[in-house]
């Protein structure tokens, strides 16, 4: 599935639709956010975290690697692996402790093990003044969700 998002409001609207399509129990879901710097990965993550009911700031996890959100619906982990150079650096991150929530992962290619178990891949790209969005289901439940969002 491919979409054109003409402006940031369209990105936010897509996040609202994605939130509505995700199940009530988001534990163990992993969404990969791909695309170059400035493509809109953090914008989409922020809008999705807000759609789940978070009203405060959504700081970039670039330096902390993980920003956790404890919400009524469960936990969300916003992960940004841009600064990770080698996979060994991730050994102490405690991935297993992030199993109870929804993981939104920017620069997932830095963590192939995590990417291999993901449900959805969202790729953002520059398209004129806006952005393109490609959505691919990676797991069975991810594919079901992707087709729900297409219809
Ligand atoms: N659909 C869109 N069209 C145009 N600009 C957008 C769109 N979505 C987001 N932006 C803008 O693009 C930039 C994306 O930054 P950011 O989300 O931090 O990117 P990334 O996390 O991929 O590096 C922000 O300035 C945001 O306002
Ligand atoms: Mg980002």
> Would you write out the chain's pLDDT as a tens digit for each of its 151 residues?
899 999 999 999 999 999 999 999 999 999 999 999 999 999 999 999 999 999 999 999 988 899 999 999 999 999 999 998 888 888 777 776 788 899 999 999 998 888 899 999 999 999 999 999 999 999 999 999 999 998 7
pLDDT of res. 91: 79
Longest CA span, the chain: 41
Query: How many CB atoms are located within 10 Å of the residue 123 CB?
Result: 16
In angstroms, what is the span from residue 68 Cα to ligand 2's centroid?
15
Q: Residue 50, SS3? A: helix
Ligand 1 surroundings by CB, under 6 angstroms: 5, 7-8, 10-11, 35, 37-43, 106, 130-131
pLDDT of res. 30: 96
In angstroms, what is the span from residue 81 Cα to ligand 1's centroid?
18
Atom of ligand 1 nearest to the CA of 5: 1
pLDDT of res. 85: 84
In angstroms, what is the span from residue 20 Cα to ligand 2's centroid?
23
Q: How far is CA 135 from the centre of its chain?
A: 11
pTM over 0.85: yes
Candidate from 8, 49, 61, 63 with most ligand 1 atoms within 8 A of CB, to mutate: 8
pLDDT of res. 98: 87
Q: Which residue in this structure is represented by tokens 């998002």?
A: 5
pLDDT of res. 34: 98
pLDDT of res. 88: 82
Angle between helix 41-51 and 8-21 (nearest 10): 50
Query: DSSP secondary-structure letter at 108?
Result: G
Residues 6+ away with beta carbon under 8 Å from 121:
31, 32, 34, 134, 135, 136, 138
Residue 148, judged by CB atoms within 10 A of its CB (0-12, 13-18, 19+), counts as middle
In angstroms, what is the span from residue 114 Cα to ligand 2's centroid?
18
Query: How many CB atoms are located within 10 Å of the residue 142 CB?
Result: 20
Instruction: Spell out a b/e string for 85-95, using b for 16 or more CB atoms within 10 Å of the CB, else e.
Output: eeeeebeebeb
Token output for 87:
């996979």
């Amino acid at each position: 599935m491919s979409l054109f998002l003409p402006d940031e409001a369209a990105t936010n609207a897509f996040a609202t639709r994605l939130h509505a399509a995700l199940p009530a129990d988001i534990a163990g879901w992993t969404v990969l956010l791909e695309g170059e710097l400035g493509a809109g990965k953090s914008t989409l993550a922020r809008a999705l975290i807000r759609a789940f009911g978070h009203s405060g700031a959504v700081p970039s996890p670039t330096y902390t690697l993980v920003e956790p959100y404890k919400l009524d619906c469960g936990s969300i982990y916003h992960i940004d692996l841009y600064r990770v150079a080698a996979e060994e650096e991730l050994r102490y991150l405690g991935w297993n402790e992030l199993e109870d929530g929804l993981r939104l992962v920017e620069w997932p290619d830095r963590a192939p093990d995590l990417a291999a178990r993901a449900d959805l891949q969202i790729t953002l790209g520059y398209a004129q003044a806006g952005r393109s969005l490609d959505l691919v289901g990676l797991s069975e439940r991810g594919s079901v969700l992707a087709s729900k969002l297409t219809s």
